[in-house]
Structure 1
Amino acid sequence: MAATLPGGILTAAIIALFLCRTTRTVTCELFPMTLSLERAIPLNNKMKLSELKARDSARHRRLIQSSNDTGFTLEGTYDPYGAGIYYTKVQLGSPPRDFHLQVDTGSDPLWVTCSSCSGCPNKTELQIELSSFDPGKSSTHTPVTCTDSICNSEYQSPEAMCSKNNRCTYTFQYADDSASAGYYVTDLIHFATPVSNGSSPVIFGCSTELTGNLATNNSRGVDGIIGFGRGDTSVISQLSSKRLVPKVFSHCLRGDDQGGGTLVLGEIVDPHIVFTPLVPSRTHYNLDLKGIEVKGQNLEIDSSVLQALENQGTVVDSGTTMAYLPDVVYDSFLNAISAATPVESLTGTYVADGYSQCFWAKKSISEVFPNVSLNFAGGASMVLKPKDYLTDGEKGWCIGIQKMEGSQAFTILGDIVLKDRIIVYDLAGQRIGWADYDCSRPFNVSGKLNRAPGSRRDASRGSPREAGTLAFFLSLICILLFFSICA
């Protein structure tokens, strides 16, 4: 079943049966949930391409530093908080306190700055008030000890280890020599709904020290990071393991000047969504890119360059601003774009910041530049219109898809190609889906909790009106059951 939810508003809806148990604390399933997203850098705040590329460089170092992939080093100066330009507000502890957290699909844990933190940001250029977590002021806080699973067996690593005082501590070391260190705690994360308030205990990090570019010189600091990676410690994995939400999340990032968007703990459904399988046994959201077409013509490249191997392949990452191609693929891509663009439609070309090809166009870019198709395993294609791979430069239009310098063979799909699309991360089905969409509009969200791994749903079954009506009546029935069973 599906219910229609407004995009870009901090809200949630109960559209499925409450499963309650009569314990000291009543716990009910609350799904799907939506959170509003804000941009750390508004789209109308112009930045040089060199600045954007430097910010992305830090992101890529963080992405690969936490995985088993090798050889992913980029040159340049960078700011690790440039890793994500979207953040959201969540509540932690008892009484609940607001924290503004960077949404990160490239890492797993949630961590916030601790009240005893050394080197944590005390000011920010963002229009938010910074907070820190004080375990002593939360009545529901409990420390994670050395006997907890996160601190033993497969979790035993430099990121989670036992301290002398029986605390489970962590150190997240980034490739630019910045780091976040602290200890794990368990406390409540809260989700507001139209008819009730839901909460669930989750394990997250309380950072007592930040160093390097994560520290006080970070001008775009937030209160921490909320991870939505594929690992067991991510928020989506923790909540879905307790059957509070489906093991799927979605986002819709607005590409207009207002920016922002919506993050959904659940599945946005749309009849136009196409899916491609995730590459198994990988840390990040790796896809199998089969080929690239420019104006319907395949790029003449060695297909082995695109293969999903340990040290190469394609990664979907909402924390990266632009998109990146391996050098040999980029050169072929740029040549194909130039060949498919009529010379008479241009007044000239130039190179920005010493590396980015730019154009002066006589007409709108949709009339001048070709469409690009990224073709993935399973027959799914992501069609990029000119607005999806060009950036508005100071003088003209510049290619927003950049070259991975050196011997790197990774393709990174960042916000420039993910914006104005529904993106579904289906961890239960081990697949990712997308569809073009105006993210300022309402959309349909699935409330189905259980689904067999690898199963496929036909999103076109049933009209939104029929689904919304069904959800409405089921919600009324469920609320009555809630009061009769759980009271």
Structure 2
Amino acid sequence: MARVSFPIHVVAIFLLCTSALQSAFSTTGLLSPPHHGARPPMVLPLFLSPPNSSRASTDSRRRHLQGSEKPNARMSLHDDLLLNGYYTTRLWIGTPPQKFALIVDTGSTVTYVPCSNCDQCGKHQDPKFQPKESSTYHPVKCNIDCNCDENRVQCVYERQYAEMSSSSGVLGEDLVSFGNLSGFPPQQAVFGCENMETGDLYSQHADGIMGLGRGDLSIVDQLVGKGVISDSFSLCYGGMEIGGGAMVLGAISPPSDMVFSYSDPVRSPYYNIDLKELHVGGKPLSLSQNIFDKKYGSVLDSGTTYGYLPEEAFLAFKEAIMKEVQSLKKIRGPDPSYNDICFSGAGSDISQLSSSFPAVDMIFGNGHKLTLSPENYLFRHSKVQGAYCLGIFQNGKDPTTLLGGIIVRNTLVTYDREHSKIGFWKTNCSELWDRLHLSSPSHALPPVSNTTTNQTNHLAPTLAPTFAPMPPHIDNPETPVGQITFDMFTSMNISELKPRTVELAEFIAHELDVNITQVHLLGVTAKVNGSLLKWAILPVSGGESISNSSAMEIISRFSEHRVQLPETFGSCQLTQWHVEPLETRTWRQKHYQLLVMAIVITLLVGLSASGVWLLWRRKKQNLNAYKPVGMIVPEQELQAL
């Protein structure tokens, strides 16, 4: 995983080739209008929680949110902070509406999507925007307020990020929709229509960026300027164990115990906070005065994955953490490309991390304190069970403090631009709809209006995943697991799929980190729009059962969206999985793999000889191929170096 932010992205989804799902948030009256006459906020869930999730919060202080009397916009959002490097929301553009998955990014000021004439745009989640197919689209003509193309006909934009990815194209205007539960009709908005993208932008799964920063082209500024929403928005990212979260466009009534920091709107276009001190385990770090106030200051960037501190602060932070975790073993990180600081021996129970790792306090200039739990500065070690790594790094020689999404997991962050402050409230972000007493939408569709007839016909169907409840025995190391079964839907038809099932099994084995001999296809059923496959993960050859630790790792890869398949297998979704204890397996199931093993090995040898073994690696390289940027543009978005 790259160390820079928004388009970082090991593109993974729910056993998904091209899509994902999940949702969430919390407090009495939180969504009620902040004052009489204020416009209602739009609530956009970042990720739908599994309907049968057994990991609901048991916090006795949990408040219940009542839905606003006025309508809200609720949309299912996707992806995962650490696995993809971002969260995305769905936006519909045009008439009839065309759907796009956009990274929510407070560090960007432009919203853009790939345009139909872009020959230098990568393969993304959705088709490119077709201006000619929208009856309401028109280009933004060259004027005194914009940069113009060579012929001085149309306005253009250019953005380059510190990890050397870039986006450029023309500006257009069209109707933008936020979902069929929106409290207001589609709005005219200016956005970027890409004709070139490079770097991570080229290879990422998401289609583009939703710019939430300050600036005339920001989607927030445009909606505020039209009087559609109040000058505020909020983000709530899910935690380490369960993804989820929400985005609210518009003002909210803050919880009584929300912690605020002043945010200087003049200092830069980035959202900064007045950070003064860091405490580790209750002890202040010995740092130079104003260490967090240099250059851009302390910046919140939802498009950045991790946290980055100035050199002096990072070294002091690292040393303080090392002193607090002396009982744990320091180990190598999961990626040899990075010198990660990792520790083993803390156990797999996220709720118990605070017994092994210290709390970290952020002290603001007004004396308010935001306490970070271990999940706000750690990420899981992907190769060692019960091991974790620091998700805070040194920001090169840049004195800016950059606070990415990991810092605010399970924290509602309100960007109150009207009052120049940012609020923080610790909560479980993956329980929004339960706390709102609202049913979470299984599909987010654009609002129906007179100008958008039959628009739902233009949207690809989406399967709603179902989950077997976590078997009681899975947490009991004395009870062995017999097998794990799961169903997967793919848009490929059965005749195309059958010759490639061995190849598909190989990719599944790789993504689940199991032996190819453990992966068995139990059946394929033809469906109207594709095929449904039933798979089983069996014990390793010669073994009677799957260890509980291995079973938990496989389950976590499912539930945390850590399974990625090539797009050559079409649009794929995990529809359900089930864990079976050893005693439920028949004699034939227990010994079937011995019969098949020789056939599988023979097939793999044949495939390797023909070069198919390297197909996925080559495909990934091809997707990442791009032409370098020929120039450095004057305006750059903030990203960690």
Of residues 141, 154, 160 in structure 2, which corresponds to 1:173? 160
Change (3 A) 1:103 1:94: same
Equivalent position SS for 1:198: coil
Alignment-derived partner of residue 398 in structure 1: 389
Alignment match of 1:190 (pick from 172, 177, 182): 177
* Partner residue, 2:140: 144
State whether structure 2 residue 248 is matched by structure 1 residue 264.
Answer: yes
Q: Corresponding residue for 1:435?
A: 425
The whole-number CA distance in structure 2 between the counterparts of 1:359 and 1:235 is: 41
Normalised by the length of structure 1, the TM-score is 0.69
Q: Secondary structure at the match of 2:223?
A: helix
Instruction: Tell me, in whole angstroms, the C-alpha distance in 1 between the residues paired with 2:346 and 2:184.
Output: 55
- Larger strand proportion of the pair: 1
Residues 45 and 244, structure 2, Cα contact 8 Å, conserved in 1 = no
Paired position in structure 1 for 2:36: none
Report the CA distance shift for 1:413/1:161 in structure 2 as closer, same or farther (over 3 A).
same
Q: Out of 270, 278, 289, which is 2:275 matched to?
A: 289
| Runs of 5+ consecutive residues of structure 2 not aligned to the other structure | 1-28, 33-42, 49-66, 439-641
Indicate whether 1:303 and 2:284 are aligned. Answer: no
> Match for 1:209 among 173, 182, 196?
196
Larger radius of gyration: 2
Q: 1:175 to 1:161 in 2, by over 3 A?
A: farther
Q: Separation in 2 of the partners of 1:200 and 1:6?
A: 16
Which residue matches 1:349? 330
1:367-378 matches, within 5 Å, as 367-378=355-366
Q: Describe how 1:318-397 pairs up with structure 2 within 5 A.
A: 318-341=302-325, 343=326, 345-346=327-328, 348-352=329-333, 353=336, 355-361=339-345, 364-393=352-381, 394-395=383-384, 396-397=387-388
Letter in 1 for 2:159: F
Taking a change above 3 Å as real, the CA distance of residues 435 and 175 of structure 1, as seen in their structure-2 partners, is: closer
Q: What is the root-mean-square deviation in Å for CA atoms of aligned residues? A: 2.9
Please tell me whether residue 417 in structure 1 is matched to residue 417 in structure 2: no
The CA deviation at 1:237 is 0.6
| Residues 6 and 442 in structure 1, CA contact (< 8 A), matched pair in contact too | no
Match 2:213 to one of 203, 226, 229: 229
Structure-2 change in CA distance of 1:245 and 1:101 (3 Å): same
Deviates more, 1:432-441 or 1:359-368: 359-368
Q: What is the CA distance between 1:273 and its match in structure 2? A: 1.2
Contact 2:136 2:174 in 1 (8 A): yes
**Aligned pair partner of 1:245 in 212, 216, 229:** 229
Partner SS for 2:366:
helix
Q: State the partner residue of 2:258.
A: 273
Shift of 1:180: 2.1
> Counterpart of 2:102 in structure 1: which amino acid?
L
Q: Distance in 2 between matches of 1:444 and 1:236?
A: 27
Distance apart, 1:93 and its partner CA: 0.5
Deviation at 1:325, TM superposition (A): 1.2
Q: Any idea what SS the aligned residue of 1:204 has?
A: strand
3-state SS of 1:375 partner? strand
Cα drift, residue 121 of structure 1: 1.6
How far is the alpha carbon of 1:203 from its aligned partner? Answer: 0.6
Write out per-residue CA displacement over residues 13-61 of structure 1, whole angstroms, 9 at most, x where no aligned residue.
8744xxxxxxxxxxxxxx75343331256x6x6xxxxxxxxxxxxxxxx
- Which ranges of structure 1 fall in alignment gaps of 5 or more residues? 17-30, 46-81, 446-463, 469-487
Give the AA of the match of 1:304: N
Q: How many residues align?
A: 370
Alignment check: 8 A CA contact 2:31 2:68 kept: no
